[in-house]
């Protein structure tokens, strides 16, 4: 875990430049989340990176907690919030599989383009169920692979750079993963990006105890 965090710490310096190609897709994600967010909502974003989604939602929610296991990413996110004078987004360094929030705290939990690079994403899903309110929603846009050969090629390239795609989901297999881990899908669609993004909105079907 610490080794992977160190890789992301180093990557934080160029993260925004690398992700610039997907700005349009991320803008769509933010707009879609805003359309289904109440002003008094408590939101959690897991794997916030440099904070663009959390900060983009700041005018649509009461309070947003945004976490990442990379200190470098969180530091950049905090600088952005300060520069934009955004005060209702709180950034912190946390392990997504065992966070320090109370059970049933959040109306919405967001995790974007991260589950596919987690070695055991089901552990993060278990923790999401714990901190999500009974009627809460999981919003989980994730890069997917529509073609096996292309997926394998991208996985190899990522591994060389230090990043590994542990889960080469298709649209259907990703939906099956979400449903098999205690969620009921309310909406799903594919968004165009540098790589296809499966946009999933799901509700919790079972509760979990603390990690």
Q: Is residue 54 part of a domain?
A: yes
CA distance 93 to 101: 13
Question: What is the Cα–Cα distance from 201 to 211, expressed in whole angstroms?
Answer: 24
Alpha-carbon separation of residue 11 from 4, 16, 21, 76, 127 (angstroms): 11, 9, 16, 11, 26
CA distances to 1, 142, 198 from 191, rounded to whole Å, are 30, 10, 6
Look at residue 207 in the predicted model and tell me its pLDDT.
61
pLDDT by residue for the chain (211 residues), tens digit each? Answer: 555 655 545 544 554 555 556 668 788 999 999 998 999 999 999 999 999 999 999 999 999 999 999 999 999 999 999 999 999 999 999 999 999 999 999 999 999 989 998 989 999 999 999 999 998 999 999 988 765 555 555 555 455 445 567 788 999 999 999 999 999 999 999 998 777 899 999 998 866 666 6
Q: What pLDDT sits at residue 158?
A: 52
Question: Considering the domain boundaries, does residue 62 fall inside one?
Answer: yes
Per the domain annotation, does 173 fall within a domain? yes
Contact assessment for residue 80 and residue 51, using Cβ atoms and an 8 Å cutoff: yes
123/1 Cα distance (integer angstroms)? 13
Contact at 8 Å (CB) between 171 and 144?
Answer: yes
Return the pLDDT at 160: 43
Asked whether residue 147 is assigned to any structural domain, the reply reads yes
List the one residue out of 159, 206, 157 whose CA is nearest residue 178: 206
pTM of the model: 0.85
**Domain-located, residue 211:** no
Q: Look at residue 210 and tell me if it is in a domain.
A: no
Which ranges of the chain would DSSP assign to H, the alpha helix? 2-11, 15-19, 23-35, 52-56, 71-84, 121-131, 148-160, 171-180
- Is 97 inside any structural domain? yes
> Which residues constitute the domain of residue 25?
2-204
CATH number of the domain that 153 lies in?
3.40.50.150
Confidence at residue 168, expressed as pLDDT on a 0 to 100 scale? 83
Per-residue confidence (pLDDT) for residue 11, from 0 to 100: 47
Say whether 192 sits in a helix, a strand or coil: coil
Of 170, 52, 61, nearest to 112 by C-alpha is: 52
Number of domains the chain is built from: 1
Q: How far is CA 122 from CA 16, 28, 157, in A?
A: 28, 26, 24
The answer to whether residue 74 is domain-embedded is: yes
């Amino acid at each position: 875990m610490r080794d992977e965090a160190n890789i992301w710490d180093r990557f934080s310096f160029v993260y925004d430049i690398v992700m610039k190609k997907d700005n349009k897709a991320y803008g769509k994600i933010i707009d879609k989340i805003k359309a289904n967010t109440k002003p008094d909502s408590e939101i959690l974003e897991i794997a916030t990176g440099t904070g663009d989604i959390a900060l983009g939602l700041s005018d649509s929610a009461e309070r947003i907690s945004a976490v990442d296991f990379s200190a470098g990413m969180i530091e950049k996110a905090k600088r952005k919030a300060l520069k934009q004078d955004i005060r209702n987004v709180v950034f912190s360094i946390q392990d997504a599989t065992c966070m320090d929030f109370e059970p049933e705290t959040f109306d919405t939990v967001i995790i974007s383009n991260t589950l596919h690079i987690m070695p055991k994403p089901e552990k993060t899903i278990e923790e999401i169920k714990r901190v999500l309110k009974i009627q809460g929603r999981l919003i989980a846009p994730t890069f997917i692979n529509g073609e096996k050969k292309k997926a394998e090629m991208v996985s190899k390239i990522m591994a060389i750079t230090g990043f590994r795609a542990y889960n080469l989901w298709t649209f259907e297999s990703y939906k099956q993963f979400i449903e098999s881990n205690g969620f009921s899908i309310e909406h799903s669609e594919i968004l165009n990006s540098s790589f296809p993004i499966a946009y999933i909105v799901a509700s919790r079907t079972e509760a979990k105890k603390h990690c």
